[in-house]
Structure formats: structure tokens, C-alpha cells
Amino acid sequence: MMKEYDVIVVGSGPGGATVAREMSLKRKKVLLIERGGRWNWLGNTLTVAMTLQNYGLTVSKPFPPFTQVTVADNYGGASMLICGCAMPPPKKIFDSVGINLTAETEEARKELWVTKLPDELVGKANMRLMEAANDLGYHWEKVEKFIDVSKCIPECADCMMGCKRDAKWSARFYGDEAIASGAELALHTRIDDVIVENRKAVGVKGSRHGKSVSYYGKRIVLSSGIGNVRILRRAGIQEAGRTFAVDFLQFIGGVSPHINTSKVQPMAVGTLEHYESDGFVILPVFPTWSQLTVLLAMKGLGHVPKALNAFRYTGLMVKIQDDLKGEIHTESSFLPFTKEPSHDDRLKLAKGGEIMKKILRKVGAPDKSIVELNPSGAHPSATCRIGDVVDTKLETSIANLYCCDASVVPSALGLPVVWSVVALGKRLAKHLDKTLT
Ligand SMILES: Cc1cc2nc3c(=O)[nH]c(=O)nc-3n(C[C@H](O)[C@H](O)[C@H](O)COP(=O)(O)OP(=O)(O)OC[C@H]3O[C@@H](n4cnc5c(N)ncnc54)[C@H](O)[C@@H]3O)c2cc1C
């Protein structure tokens, strides 16, 4: 006799871990499946690369030009590498599909340690950037973060390297809570197919260390991010991934004699003042030395020597709500998509870029020191959109088969995603609980 779970969740990022935790707390039999392993020692480039699909080099085709996106392959998903920037679900986007996440957003606020940091943790360079931007007439302020202030230390910029102090919230905290409440975790297990009987999802199939595995459950939740598309298409849902968003971002850095951002919290200050009117946000963050070297190489090999300034740059990022364009391809995991910035995307990036250059000049960076990296994709999302591939309950056209992660957002958020995905996970768990009792 095969064991039957109440809920099988595929993918342990913020979406999947939330559903697993909520359902386990409700005493449901839960299996959380993750294709990656549990890398515990982050904090250096090599281990970070090990937690990513293609060691971080997942790029679009045809290339060049490259659009690079970061795709997780690890327990906790991409949340292990987040900057810890906490932005609530954008109401307008979810209102457009009739979803109200107010209650779930507030529930998550406490659990995700959302807070604004004291000045000493924000860091002098961020405080100076905020002052410079405000002197220029912009409206910068401290930005909320998923940080436990009691564990965080000043002059540390290692959020994106994985926080060794556990001061930054990641989906592992929810995943581990699910396990403590009875959920089973299957690592190194890649799901390829949904088992469908009488037009209802009843399980999933895949492989673990080269051996075939099958699991049976009453409800199946796909939370494997960009990976949902392949599973859904193999199940016959062909419309998945026919277009999508990546929240294009562009980094611009300059060398100021007074400050640099190499040792301060990323995204601890910034502005959302251009979000409603122009569809972009500006936040201070810059790639680590290794990411910078790769991004400079993508711009052209002649730019690579600029990486010698890696620890002297003051860096800013513009992140936009990009147009739904491009496509996911499921035949290759190295070049799994086509996507490049549209004309409108480029206008938004350019407008944000001009503002960032003004701020860099104001803190003393000469024009000749300014480097503009190529746009890259921040958050692959909106592949299985609400109203298109899933309904407002996040159920697909196959009964009992749901999606819950960044793939379901109805359009580009252009904002950090975690809080939105966690709120969606909490909302889905309430629905699943009702249907299972
Ligand atoms: C460098 C970086 C910094 C970021 N900073 C922030 C930030 O500060 N704040 C913020 O809110 N957001 C941030 N984000 C975005 C955020 O990390 C992601 O949007 C979020 O993790 C998406 O969650 P998810 O649940 O959709 O999926 P993911 O986190 O992508 O998780 C999907 C999981 O599914 C697994 N999987 C895939 N396919 C399969 C399969 N076939 N079988 C089994 N398992 C599978 C993957 O290994 C992965 O663990 C950042 C992202 C990056 C890359």
C-alpha cells in the first residue's frame, strides 16, 4: 500500500515552505519535496554557486545578448540569497484579480521579523546615500527588512551570500517548522510529472539520486518557481510559461572617495516614490565581487578589469515592472527561456539610471568611475498567472493541482517578492484546509 499524504508540496522556497508549514500546523500529513540539497555553509562564492541551477549561470537564448536570472536549486529556494528586503504585496496588482491579502500580510509581518533597522545596522554609507538623494529632492527613507536585529551585526553585507548568523529570515525557518510539526522532507528529489486519474491529480512522479519515485496525495501544490512550467506542460497544461516577467534590474556603481557600499546592508534604504507613476524602485545594492566579475564579462571582456574596484564601489539598483514578454523553454535547463527588455522596459531602466547617476555624483563619484551593468532578470515570475493558468484559488484546470509561488502573480511586481508569495501561501493553506475537512 502506498502512503497517501494530505498535501504534497513540490519546491521548498517561500511559497512551498509556507504551504507546508501552515498545513502541518493544521495537523495535515505533508510531504515537502525539494530537488536541491541542504547547503548549510554559505558565505562564500563557491557554496552560493552550489545552491543555484547551472551554478548561477542560467541565461536566455539566443545569446548574446544575455539575460541572466538566478534560479535556486536548494532547500529554502532563492530565499537563502535574498537581501532581506521586505515589501508587502502590492495591493493594486492583487486587487486586479480580486485577491485581498490584507489578513495574510499582517500575519506574516511578525513571523518574517519585518522591521526597520537602527542607524548602526543601516550603515553610514546608506545613511549618506539617503541624505544625498533627499538633498536632491527625492524621497528616500529606511526600508523594512526581514532581519532579527538581535543577531545582525554592523558593517556586514553578506545577506546575498546567505547569512551565517541566521539573522535574516529564509524559507528554511518555515520548512523546519513544518518538519517539527510532522511534515516529511524529501531532498535531492526532482519531480517531473503529476499523476492524474479521472482528471484529478493524485500524486507526483520523479527521481531521487537516479531512482524513480512516486508519491500520492489528496492535494498537490507546485511551488517550484520557473520549474512549474515543465511539470504543467507535461501534464497537458500547454499555456504555462508562454510569457512571463523577470522584474528587470540594472546596477550602476561609482567610486566615491567618501563612501562605498561594499560593507553595508543591501537595500536598507531607498525609495518607492517612482513605483506608481513610472513602475520602478531604486535601492542601494551592488553585486558581490564574483557576481560583478561575471556581469562585467557579460558586458564585454574589456570591462572585466573594473572588478578590481569591487570593494570601492558605491552601488545602486533600479528594478522595474517589466512587460509580460518572452517564453519559457522546457527542453534545456541551461538556456531555458527567451527574454530581453522591451522598448518600454529600457525607458524605465534609463529613467531610473539617470536618477541613480545624479545621486552617485552627489556623493562624490566622478563620471569616469561610473559603471552601468547590463540589465538582468531579478525575479522570474508570472509564468502560471492567476486568471490564466490558475484560478483565484490557485487551482489549475486539473482538479486538486495547485501552484503557489512567484509563478502565479498576475503581472510583474517590480518589487521584492517574498512577502507576496508567503501571503499567497497562507491564503492557499486556508482554502486547502477547508477542502480537506
Ligand atoms: C540575489 C537575490 C536577491 C533577492 N532579494 C530579495 C529580497 O531582498 N526580498 C525579497 O522579497 N525577494 C528577494 N528575492 C526574490 C526571492 O528570492 C524570490 O522571488 C523567491 O524566493 C521566490 O519564491 P518561490 O517560492 O516562488 O520560489 P523559489 O525560491 O524559486 O523556490 C523554488 C524551489 O523549487 C525547487 N524546484 C524547482 N524545480 C523542482 C522540481 N522539478 N522538483 C523539486 N523541486 C524543484 C527549487 O530548487 C527551489 O528550491 C531575491 C532573489 C535573488 C535571486
Summarize pLDDT for 46-69 with one digit per residue, the tens: 788 888 898 888 888 877 777 889
Triad 166, 167, 169: Cα angle to 5°: 80
Q: Which residues contact 429 (CB under 8 A, 6 or more apart)?
A: 18, 19, 22, 23, 26
- Percent of the chain residues past pLDDT 90, beyond the cut: 87
Q: Where are the beta strands (DSSP E) in 55-111?
A: 58-59, 68-69
Summarize pLDDT for 256-297 with one digit per residue, the tens: 999 999 999 999 999 999 999 999 999 999 998 888 998 999
Mean pLDDT check: name the lowest of 159-168, 261-270, 372-381.
Answer: 159-168
Summarize pLDDT for 15-30 with one digit per residue, the tens: 999 999 999 999 999 9
If one residue of 38, 51, 79, 80 were mutated to test the ligand 1 pocket, choosing by the most ligand atoms within 8 A of its CB, it would be 79
Q: How many CB atoms lie within 10 A of CB 233?
A: 16
Residues with beta carbon inside 6 Å of ligand 1? 10-16, 33-36, 70, 72-74, 77-79, 81-85, 160, 190-191, 223-225, 227, 267, 379, 405-406, 416-419, 421
Q: What pLDDT score does 1 carry?
A: 60
Contact 113, 146 (CB under 8 A): yes
Contact 43, 162 (CB under 8 A): yes
Q: Kindly list the domain boundaries of the chain, sorted by start residue.
A: 1-38+74-112+169-245+381-437
How remote is the CA of residue 379 from the centroid of ligand 1, in Å?
8
What burial class does residue 360 get, using C-beta atoms within 10 Å of its C-beta: 0-12 exposed, 13-18 middle, 19+ buried?
Answer: buried
Summarize pLDDT for 4-15 with one digit per residue, the tens: 999 999 999 999
Q: Grid coordinates standing for 410?
A: 498576475
Whole-structure pTM over 0.95, yes or no?
Answer: yes
Summarize pLDDT for 360-374 with one digit per residue, the tens: 999 999 999 999 999
Mean pLDDT check: name the lowest of 157-171, 176-190, 213-227.
Answer: 157-171
How many angstroms separate the first and last alpha carbons of the chain? 23
Mean pLDDT check: name the lowest of 3-12, 36-45, 199-208, 226-235.
Answer: 36-45
What residues does 270 pair with on adjacent strands?
141
Contact 371, 254 (CB under 8 A): yes
How remote is the CA of residue 425 from the centroid of ligand 1, in Å?
14
How remote is the CA of residue 17 from the centroid of ligand 1, in Å?
11
Q: Is 1-38+74-112+169-245+381-437 a CATH 3.50.50.60 domain? A: yes
Mean pLDDT score of the chain = 95
Nearest-atom index, ligand 1, CA of 73: 47
